[in-house]
């Protein structure tokens, strides 16, 4: 699997601490995620059928994932009948090898990529670059993080961790344009640069949002037009999809389209919804001469086999759960050290990347905001608890940092104590006696000893009341 | 007035102060079916126009086939287009549009690429032309979307490479929603042709979630509805 890189595994405890301490990052995240949530609330409010469509979409996913075997067979047959070459890859290495072979057979020098988290998942770009190809990400956000030598920090807004000033400086340095922080001007500069690259690329690679088994049609959703260009201009086109992207029928699609953009970006529909079924036909100007579809398992069938995990495969990758997550909004996407950050990433990553992501299910307050916003109602908190339970049985166990260990021991001791009412009452009384002298107007504003962390950041605590001799309350 | 009526009156006036929230399963606004065919078409066109403008597109209006020719020529002049690429029509005679444009001094690029060399040359011309004109197979009123089906003489690049687009749609091709539009196009067409649903100009929100129009696709999107001449 993806653990092939020899680089030392980044430690989630360290990266999340770093993210949480970065006040600047927090401001940027609050800004962007807040704006997104406003758009979503607005677009949902004006669409009364929203919840019905969610239910319909979920039912279709339940059905599709429940008979994934037959649907994948049907999809492969139909795609091949439409003139595509289909390769089913068991893991990331198989997918990379196939794509590398297609790329070198096509004599590709320059590769343009539409936005695709699946190709991030399989670490495709470094593999193509090692083979001597120039790989250019063409989604504006992906282009920005590629220029910075970073990974996307969000599944639909890759550069969410950067301000327009950050991007202005980056473009001034890397593209040699005069510094500007105007999104309009920055976008125009990227467009100019990328247009000529598009016209000269031999290979285009994109992800897939939905694959319709009935017709053998791939559906690509985007706003910028780079996905359309990547699948239209180069002579060779490769689409990379996870096995869970298949839906049975064309008539199922509207149910997903009606909810996906509304939750993902707050739009009614994304600017472009592209339907591609095969290579170009006789006499056509557009479309590749050869079209390949890579269908990737890479740990997904393990999720399918687990009855609790299975519903994670319904995910449409809309990214909304990241934006509502109080943990994601504090630590940012890079802290997760995974292609898929946030609540859904905390579920998917341990299955795709193994022990490297074992801590992620613990990075949640279980508040349930992710479940509420999910367009297909995935019960993310339930799956997180399930994964925590599984991790508790795993060997070797997670190496928790010292303060987390102390907190765990403390909570466990408290739990033991709470099971003994008499001890609890006694300790409560002693605690009250100790704390009462510190109280002002019925509140503790500063607490001594191990409790000082509670009040250190301006929090107060109600002072324990003087105990009456004959309390009716036990 | 009884106490009960007084309370009801209070509640009523209290409610009137805030905007009314639609009941959870009410039909979408604008879904009321008018009596006549013409009223229905008009209703759908106006809903389409509203939604298109909401996503940054420009609705030019409803024109007869004859009027639309002169409106197209006027648009080319307004945006200073020196040349335009015109795709083959679905229901309309685009030959007449081509002639009108040429008469007004706009060079017209029409498709016709069969060899690889021609393909490259044609693509280059498309990439450098000022305006792409194409007829949509259908339009979706609820989202302001245009469904364009790619064919050899109506290539997809027409709605992708030029900086401005004009998409025409026949009044009879207005569909209330996405499901109706997709069903109308039909599964067989999706197998054989590349289909693009276009909702507004190309856009991005990748920099601080601020919306910028015209990234890789057209920055300007115009739409025009054609009302047929009827006896």
Taking only the tens place, the pLDDT of each residue in A269-315 is 999 999 999 999 988 888 999 999 999 999 999 999 999 999 999 99
Q: How many structural domains comprise chain A? A: 3
* Predicted local distance difference test score (pLDDT) of residue B144: 98
B136: closest CA among B190, B198, B193?
Answer: B198
Q: Which of A157, A167, A187, A278 to mutate to test the interface with B (most CBs of B within 10 A)?
A: A187
pLDDT at A473: 52
Which tokens in the block code for residue B40? Answer: 């229905």
- Of A265, A298, A331, the domain-final residue: A298
Does A253 sit within 8 Å of B194, measured CB to CB?
no
Residue B197 to residue A273, Cβ atoms within 8 A: yes
Within a domain: residue A94?
Answer: yes
Q: What is the dihedral of CA A343, A346, A347, A350, to 10 degrees?
A: 170
- Residue in B with minimal Cα distance to A271: B199
pLDDT at B22: 55
Q: What is the pLDDT of residue A1?
A: 38
pLDDT tens-digit readout, A79-106? 999 999 999 999 999 999 999 999 999 9
For chain B, say whether A118 makes contact (Cβ under 8 Å): no
Name chain A contacts of B194, Cβ cutoff 8 Å.
Answer: 232, 274-277, 286-287
Give percent of chain B above pLDDT 70: 89
Q: Does A49 touch chain B (CB under 8 A)?
A: yes
With beta carbons under 8 A apart, name residues in chain B contacting A265: 205
A141 touching chain B per CB within 8 A: yes
Among B205, B214, B218, the residue to mutate for chain A (most A Cβ within 10 A): B205
Query: Could you report the per-residue pLDDT of B141-150, keeping only the tens digit for each?
Result: 999 999 999 9
Asked if A36 and B123 come within 8 Å (Cβ–Cβ), the reply is no
Tell whether A269 is within 8 A of chain B (Cβ): yes
How sure is the predictor about B119, in pLDDT bands with cuts at 50, 70 and 90?
confident
pLDDT at A175: 95
Name which of A32, A48, A277 is nearest B28 (Cβ-Cβ).
A48
pLDDT number for residue A452: 79
For residue range A233-251, list pLDDT tens digits in order. Answer: 999 999 999 999 999 999 9
Cα A225 to Cα A356: distance, rounded to the nearest angstrom: 35
Residue B103 makes CB contacts below 8 A (sequence gap 6+) with none
Apex A48 CA angle, A45 and A53, nearest 5: 110
Q: Are residues A235 and A372 in the same domain?
A: no
Residues of B in Cβ contact (< 8 Å) with A48: 22-28
**Residue B50 touches partner A, C-beta closer than 8 Å:** no
- Is A411 among the domain residues? no
Chain A and chain B share a number of CB contacts under 8 A equal to 192
Note whether A215 contacts B202, CB cutoff 8 Å. no
Do you know the residue count of chain A?
Answer: 474
| pLDDT above 90 coverage of chain B, percent | 70
Which of the pair, A207 or A431, is modelled with greater confidence? A207
**Phi and psi at residue A297, in whole multiples of 5°?**
-90, -70
pLDDT confidence of residue A399: 85
Beta bridge partners of A56: none
Q: Cα distance from B24 to chain A (closest Cα, Å)?
A: 6
Whether the CB-CB separation of A332 and A311 falls below 8 Å is answered with no
Structural element, H or E, at residue A272: strand A272-276
The pLDDT score that the predictor gives to residue A3 is 41
Taking all residues of chain A, what is their mean pLDDT, rounded to a whole number?
91
**Pair A349, A363: CB distance under 8 Å:** no
Give the separation between CA A283 and CA A303, rounded to whole angstroms: 44
Average of per-residue pLDDT values in chain B: 89
- Contact between chains at B209 and A190 (C-beta distance less than 8 A): no
What is the model's pLDDT at position B18? 62
Q: Does residue A51 belong to the interface with chain B, where contact is any CB pair within 8 Å?
A: yes
Q: Which domain holds residue A93?
A: 60-298
Question: The pTM is what?
Answer: 0.88
Q: Which residues pair with B197 in a beta bridge?
A: A273, B147
ipTM: 0.88
Q: Which tops the pLDDT comparison, A315 or B3?
A: A315
Place of tokens 């590709």: A108
Give which of B18, B86, B159, B206 to mutate to test A binding, by max A Cβ within 10 Å: B206
Mean pLDDT for A432-454 is 80
Q: Where do the structural domains in chain B lie, given as residue ranges?
A: 39-226
Read off the pLDDT band of B116 (50, 70, 90).
confident
Residue A278 lies in a domain: yes
Cross-chain Cβ contact A271/B201 below 8 Å: yes
- Taking the C-alpha atoms of residue B161 and residue A218, their distance in angstroms, rounded to an integer, is 22
B39-226: which CATH number, 3.40.50.10420, 2.60.40.10, 3.40.50.2000, 3.40.47.10? 3.40.50.10420
3-state secondary structure of B60: strand
Cβ distance A268 to B123 less than 8 Å, yes or no, reads no
What is the token pair recorded at A61? 């996913």
Do A185 and A233 sit in the same domain of this protein? yes
Crossing angle of the two packed helices B94-103 and B65-78, in degrees rounded to 10: 40
Does residue A8 carry a pLDDT above 80? no
Do residues A289 and A325 both lie within one domain?
Answer: no
- State the smallest CA–CA distance between residue A10 and chain B in angstroms: 27
Residues A120, A252, single domain; the answer is: yes
Residue of A nearest to B200 (CA): A271
Phi, psi for residue B165 in degrees, rounded to 5:
-130, 140
Tell me if A190 sits within 8 A of A94, measured CB to CB. no
Q: From the CB of residue A224, how many other CB atoms can be counted at a distance below 10 Å? A: 30
Same domain, residue pair A221 and A294: yes
Question: A253 with A228, same domain?
Answer: yes
Q: How many CB atoms lie within 10 A of CB B220?
A: 18
> Which residues from B are below 8 Å from A269, CB to CB?
143, 145, 178, 197, 199
Chain B CB contacts of A283 under 8 Å are 114, 152
The residue length of chain B stands at: 231
- C-alpha A395/C-alpha A2 separation (Å) is 20
B208: nearest CB among A183, A198, A270: A183
pLDDT classification of A2: cutoffs 50, 70, 90 = very low
Give the closest of B144, B152, B206 to A283, CB-based. B152
CA distances from A159 to A117, A163, A376, B66, B176 (A): 14, 8, 26, 48, 36
Does A261 share its domain with A383?
no
Beta carbons of A36 and B209 less than 8 Å apart = yes
Element containing residue B34 per DSSP (H, E): none
Residues ≥6 apart with Cβ < 8 Å to A84: A216, A277, A278, A279, A291, A292, A293
Would an 8 Å CB–CB cutoff place A350 in contact with chain B?
no
* Torsion (CA) A203, A207, A212, A215 in degrees, nearest 10: -10
The residue behind tokens 């599944």 is: A155
Outline where A338-456 has alpha helix (H).
342-353, 369-373, 380-393, 402-418, 421-435, 452-456
Contact A263, A215 (CB under 8 A): no
């Amino acid at each position: 699997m993806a653990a092939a890189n020899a680089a030392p595994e980044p430690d989630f405890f360290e990266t999340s601490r770093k993210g949480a301490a970065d006040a600047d990052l927090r401001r940027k995240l609050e800004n962007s995620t807040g704006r997104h949530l406003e758009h979503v609330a607005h677009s949902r409010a004006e669409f009364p059928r929203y919840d019905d469509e969610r239910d319909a979409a979920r039912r279709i996913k339940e059905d599709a994932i429940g008979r994934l075997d037959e649907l994948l067979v049907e999809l492969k047959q139909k795609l091949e009948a439409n003139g595509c070459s289909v390769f089913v890859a068991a893991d990331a290495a198989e997918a990379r090898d196939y794509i590398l072979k297609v790329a070198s057979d096509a004599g590709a020098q320059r590769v343009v990529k539409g936005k695709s988290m699946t190709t991030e998942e399989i670490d495709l770009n470094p593999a193509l670059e090692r083979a001597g190809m120039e790989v250019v990400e063409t989604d504006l956000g992906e282009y920005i993080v590629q220029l910075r030598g970073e990974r996307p920090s969000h599944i639909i807004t890759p550069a969410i961790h950067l301000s327009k000033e950050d991007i202005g400086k980056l473009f001034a340095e890397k593209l040699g344009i005069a510094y500007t922080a105007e999104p309009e001007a920055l976008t125009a500069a990227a467009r100019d640069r990328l247009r000529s690259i598009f016209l000269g690329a031999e290979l285009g690679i994109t992800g897939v949002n939905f694959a319709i088994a009935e017709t053998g049609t791939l559906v690509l959703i985007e706003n910028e037009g780079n996905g359309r260009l990547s699948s239209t201009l180069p002579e060779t086109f490769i689409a990379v999809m996870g096995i869970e992207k298949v839906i049975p029928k064309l008539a199922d699609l509207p149910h997903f389209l009606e909810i996906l953009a509304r939750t993902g970006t707050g739009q009614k529909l994304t600017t472009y919804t592209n339907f591609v079924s095969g290579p170009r036909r006789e006499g056509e100007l557009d479309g590749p001469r050869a079209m390949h579809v890579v269908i990737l398992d890479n740990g997904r069938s393990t999720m399918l086999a687990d009855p609790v995990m299975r519903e994670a495969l319904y995910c449409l990758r809309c990214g909304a759960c990241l934006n509502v997550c109080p943990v994601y909004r504090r630590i940012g996407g890079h802290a997760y050290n995974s292609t898929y950050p946030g609540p859904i990433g905390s579920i998917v990553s341990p299955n795709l990347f193994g022990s490297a992501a074992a801590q992620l299910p613990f990075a949640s307050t279980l508040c349930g905001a992710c479940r509420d916003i999910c367009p297909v109602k995935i019960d993310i908190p339930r799956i997180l608890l399930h994964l925590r339970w599984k991790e508790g049985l795993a060997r070797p166990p997670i190496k928790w940092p010292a303060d987390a260990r102390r907190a765990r021991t403390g909570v466990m001791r408290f739990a033991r104590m709470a099971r003994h009412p008499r001890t609890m009452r006694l300790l409560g009384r002693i605690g009250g006696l100790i704390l009462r002298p510190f109280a002002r107007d019925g509140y503790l504003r500063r607490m001594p000893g191990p409790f000082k962390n509670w009040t250190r950041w301006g929090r107060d605590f109600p002072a324990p009341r003087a105990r009456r001799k004959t309390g009716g309350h036990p | 007035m009884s106490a009960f009526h007084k309370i009801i009156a209070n509640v009523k006036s209290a409610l009137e102060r805030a905007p009314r929230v639609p009941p959870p399963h009410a039909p979408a606004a604008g879904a009321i079916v008018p009596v006549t065919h013409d009223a229905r078409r008009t209703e759908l066109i106006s809903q389409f126009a509203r939604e298109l403008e909401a996503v940054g597109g420009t609705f030019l209006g409803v024109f007869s086939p004859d009027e639309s020719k002169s409106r197209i020529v006027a648009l080319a002049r307004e945006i200073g287009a020196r040349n335009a690429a015109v795709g083959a029509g679905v229901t309309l005679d685009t030959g007449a549009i081509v002639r009108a444009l040429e008469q007004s001094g706009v060079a017209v690029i029409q498709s016709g690429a069969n060899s690889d060399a021609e393909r490259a040359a044609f693509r280059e011309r498309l990439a450098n032309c000022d305006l792409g004109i194409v007829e949509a197979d259908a339009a979706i009123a609820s989202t302001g979307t245009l469904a364009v089906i790619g064919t050899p003489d109506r290539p997809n690049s027409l709605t992708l490479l030029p900086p401005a687009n004009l998409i025409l749609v026949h009044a009879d091709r207005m569909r209330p929603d996405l499901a109706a539009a997709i069903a109308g196009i039909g599964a067989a067409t999706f197998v054989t042709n590349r289909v693009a649903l276009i909702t507004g100009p190309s856009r991005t929100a990748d920099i601080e979630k601020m919306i910028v129009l015209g990234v890789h696709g057209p920055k300007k999107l115009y739409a025009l509805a054609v009302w047929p001449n009827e006896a």
